[in-house]
């Protein structure tokens, strides 16, 4: 069993794609352990993306992720990280396969509709960033 975090980013929330994106997850049979809407603070976005701190796009990424409401969703399932990355598609929507979330909804590499954890370890850490582990465990 793995945990993974999805963030529905400001562009997809603004464009009213929350429902369609959640239906991708339900069809995939993930167990949803937490889901809420919030507006990230500058500090939260900086900490969440700290791994990209040295990348040239970091400042713009933080500013973009704080520009509007997001929906954070904690998921659990067999092989959840890889399965979610498959339905999300490549980071750059131009490279995202037909039928993936980013192929359908992303506007650009920055406004790319969703974030998904990229490893099992990050899945554990990123879900715990937004949800209390005891709350998630109670919903398994």
The C-alpha atoms of residue 47 and residue 69 are separated, in whole angstroms, by 17
Residue of 80, 115, 116, 127 marked catalytic: 115
Q: Does 109 bind ligand CMP (CB under 6 A)?
A: yes
Rounded to the nearest 10 degrees, how much is the dihedral formed by the CA atoms of 135, 73, 42, 16? -140
Nearer to ligand CMP, 63 or 137 (CB): 63
**Residues in 4-43 at the binding interface with ligand CMP, rule: CB under 6 A:** none
Closest approach of Cβ 110 to ligand CMP, in Å? 4
Q: Does 139 bind ligand CMP (CB under 6 A)?
A: no
Distances (CA, A) of 17 to 50, 77, 95, 113: 27, 23, 20, 9
Are the CB atoms for 101 and 24 separated by under 8 Å?
yes
115: annotated active-site residue? yes
Are the CB atoms for 6 and 84 separated by under 8 Å?
yes
Nearer to ligand CMP, 33 or 96 (CB): 96
Nearer to ligand CMP, 66 or 91 (CB): 91
Beta-strand pair 114-116/70-77: unpaired
Site for ligand CMP, rule CB under 6 A: 52, 57, 61, 91, 109-110, 112, 115
Residues marked active site are found at 115
């Amino acid at each position: 069993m793995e945990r993974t975090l999805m963030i529905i980013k400001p562009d997809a929330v603004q464009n009213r794609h929350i429902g369609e994106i959640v239906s991708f997850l339900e069809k995939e049979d993930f167990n949803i352990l937490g889901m809420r809407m919030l507006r990230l603070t500058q500090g939260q976005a900086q900490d969440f993306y700290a791994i990209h701190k040295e990348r040239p796009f970091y400042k713009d990424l933080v500013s973009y992720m704080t520009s509007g409401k997001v929906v954070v969703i904690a998921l659990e399932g067999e092989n959840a990280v890889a399965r979610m990355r498959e339905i999300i598609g490549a980071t750059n929507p131009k490279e995202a396969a037909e039928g993936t979330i980013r192929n359908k909804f992303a506007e650009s590499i920055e406004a790319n509709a969703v974030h998904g954890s990229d490893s099992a370890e990050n899945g554990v850490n990123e879900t715990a960033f937004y949800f209390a582990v005891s709350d998630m465990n109670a919903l398994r």
